[in-house]
Chain A
Amino acid sequence: MTALQIIFLFVAAITLASAVMVVSARRMMHAALWLVLALAGVAVIFAMLDAGFFAIVQVLVYIGAISILIIFAIMLTRKAMEDVGPQLNRGWWLAALAVVGVFAGLAVVIVSWPGVMATAGVGPDADAIVNFGKDLVDPDKYVMPFEVASVMLLAALIGAIYVSVEHKGGQP
């Protein structure tokens, strides 16, 4: 058991425990804070897999923006009654059963796949990120997903502003 594997088990345990707390916390604010911890754990795992760029982008986008947005939304939609009473649906045991079934199916598929015991190679070289940047604007490569993602963000921005503007006269 190398040091890296021990650290991975530790971080994975923390992340999964935080995720369980997210879906079962009674108070919404606590759930949001556990979500931040889970996302930070995922960022650490990205860093361990030599994807440092995505670790930092994860912290920046998820923890720095989406989590703050979720906390704002919780604050703006809060009444005193919200956090009282059962937090789960009436049919939550059915959901639990379905989830356990899905997990069992996934685990079986993963373990029985012949290529699963692959060994990792050496890792990306130093200018992988420079090539990533070049390929994102290369017309033969990935400029299309890049531009479409930008348009999607623009649409999301405009949509969110329009939906949340309060129109005078009660018009939706």
Chain B
Amino acid sequence: MSFWTDPMAVIANLIGGWLAGLGMTEGWVTFVLSFLGAGVYALLVMLTVVLLIWVERKLLGRFQDRLGPNRLGPWGIFQTIADMLKIFTKEYITPNGVDKVPYNLAPILAVAGVLSVWAVIPLGATILGANLNVGVLYVVAIGAIGELGIILAGWSSRNKFATLGGFRAVALLVSYEVPLVVSLIIPVLFSGSMGMNNIVHAQKDIWYIVLAPVAALIFLITSIAENGRAPFDLTEADSEIVAGFNVEYSGLKFGMYYVADFMHTFTIAFLFSTLWLGGWQGPWAEKYPMLGLFYTAFKAWFIYFTIIWLRGSLPRFRIDQMINLNWKVLTPLALVLLMMTAIVNRLVPEGMLVVRTLALLAVNGILLVGTSWLLNKFAGRNKRVVVAPEPRPVARPEQISSES
């Protein structure tokens, strides 16, 4: 068992041996090791998010035909550190009459609701936080804790805009959980287990995005909606000028929401790569787990780029468009897809991978074509009528008639 074939066990043995040498009992050694591992992992994730904020700003700049940050350091790479210093030193303005405990707890819950997901993402064959055999369910449950943070923020700010913004945001998030969970059932169906590492192991022969591309698409769309990113970012940019549920936060507390937002995108990219793109699978990934880390990051990078691409390209949805999209398009599509995938998966006998793939691809294709046909057919039904303005008297009528 060298370092390269099983890095986590080697490190754990080293530190555990040293701690036991200091005289700790078995239970305490395990406790301290878990604590240390969780702390180091969380720290690494947050430092990576700092790097990714810079990546996102540069990419957005390029999409919008400008340079992005380029003053501090080569290619502006220290810009995020400057922003962090600025946010650390800002004053905490606590409005009069807020409930102290929920007001301060809400940003913590928002960050915890994203950071805790990292405990179950397998970064390598043996590099993962906790091998829960209900990992997929855990991911959804932790998302629910994040929503609780938003409600606490909205309500404890004692501000009508914040409260309304918070409640509207949570209503949207809870609605978008439905197609998210249904689309998450599909990798569980294929691999027979809810544990994330088992799902990655089961993608040895073929990636699940090939077997169920529509489900992967639904997962991506609903995850972006859960994140509150463009084009679904009405929860933080609408409410007309004010920022929604986090309007009364300043300084590092607002910074926590900002960090949680970017970390959530990063988490979505890794979840997508684990569940649909085969995670750490790759040449020699089982023998050398550190290579698995590189593979999963490489795959996640494409998804991260796509999400930023969507952010820079699409205009914001209105709230009724978002609600219609969820309940009239995504939820029925996800349910029908789940039923047909389950039926086709059972009909094709075990082991015939090519036939199974082609059958599932056919099902997905039919659903995609059918959905777009239905959408096109009913697209023109509820057109908003734009009333042309009445002709009104102007100062120089001769100029108007000459133009028209």
Which A residues are closer than 8 A to B by beta carbons? 3, 29-30, 33, 36, 52-53, 56-57, 59-60, 63-65, 67-68, 71-72, 75, 126, 129-130
Contacts and interface: CB of A to CB of B under 8 A. Distances in A.
Nearest to A76: B167
A63 B145 CA distance: 7
A68 B170 contact: yes
A36 B141 CA distance: 14
A101 B151 CA distance: 38
Contacts of A64: 140-141, 143-145, 147-148
Contacts of A52: 132-134
A56 to B, nearest CB: 5
B151 to A, nearest CB: 6
Contacts of A65: 144, 174
B351 interface: no
21 contacts: A29-B99, A33-B102, A33-B152, A36-B148, A52-B134, A53-B134, A53-B137, A56-B134, A59-B145, A60-B137, A60-B144, A64-B144, A64-B145, A64-B148, A68-B151, A68-B170, A68-B174, A71-B151, A72-B167, A129-B134, A130-B192
B144 A75 contact: no
Contacts of B99: 29-30
A33 B167 CA distance: 16
A126 B197 CA distance: 15
Contacts of A56: 134, 137-138, 141
By secondary structure, the A interface counts as helix
Nearest to A74: B155
Nearest to B163: A75
Contacts of A33: 102, 152
B21 interface: no
Output the residue of A3, A68, A71, A75 with the most chain B CB within 10 A: A68
Interface of B: 27, 31, 99, 102, 132-134, 137-138, 140-145, 147-148, 151-152, 155, 163, 167, 170, 174, 192-194
A79 B316 CA distance: 35
A109 B148 CA distance: 39
B140 A60 contact: yes
Contacts of B140: 60, 64
Contacts of A129: 133-134, 194
A80 B359 CA distance: 60
Nearest to B156: A29
B154 to A, nearest CB: 9
- The dominant DSSP class at the B interface is helix
A34 B303 CA distance: 39
A57 B134 CA distance: 10
A146 to B, nearest CB: 16
B27 A3 contact: yes
A67 B137 CA distance: 18
Contacts of A3: 27, 31
Nearest to B151: A71
A75 B167 contact: yes
Given A36-B148, A52-B132, A129-B133, A71 B155 contact: yes
Contacts of A126: 133
Nearest to B177: A64
Contact of A63 (B102, B132, B144): B144
Contacts of B148: 36, 63-64, 67-68
Those 10 A-B pairs whose CB atoms lie nearest each other, nearest first: A64-B144, A60-B141, A59-B141, A56-B137, A56-B141, A53-B134, A3-B27, A56-B138, A56-B134, A71-B151
Contacts of B151: 68, 71
Contacts of B174: 65, 68
B144 A29 contact: no
A59 B27 CA distance: 27
A127 to B, nearest CB: 9
User: Which one of A57, A64, A71, A129 has the highest number of Cβ atoms from chain B below 10 Å of its Cβ?
Assistant: A64
Contacts of B147: 64, 68
A129 B192 CA distance: 11
A67 B147 CA distance: 11
B271 to A, nearest CB: 16
Given A29-B155, A52-B133, A64-B145, 12 more contacts: A3-B31, A52-B132, A63-B144, A64-B141, A64-B143, A64-B144, A64-B147, A65-B144, A65-B174, A68-B147, A68-B170, A129-B134
Question: Which of B140, B143, B144, B155 has its CB near the most chain A CB atoms (within 10 A)?
Answer: B144
A29 B143 CA distance: 22
B112 to A, nearest CB: 12
B287 to A, nearest CB: 25
Contacts of A59: 141-142, 144-145
B155 A75 contact: yes
B33 to A, nearest CB: 14
B17 to A, nearest CB: 21
Contacts of A53: 134, 137
B65 to A, nearest CB: 42
Contacts of A30: 99
A57 to B, nearest CB: 7
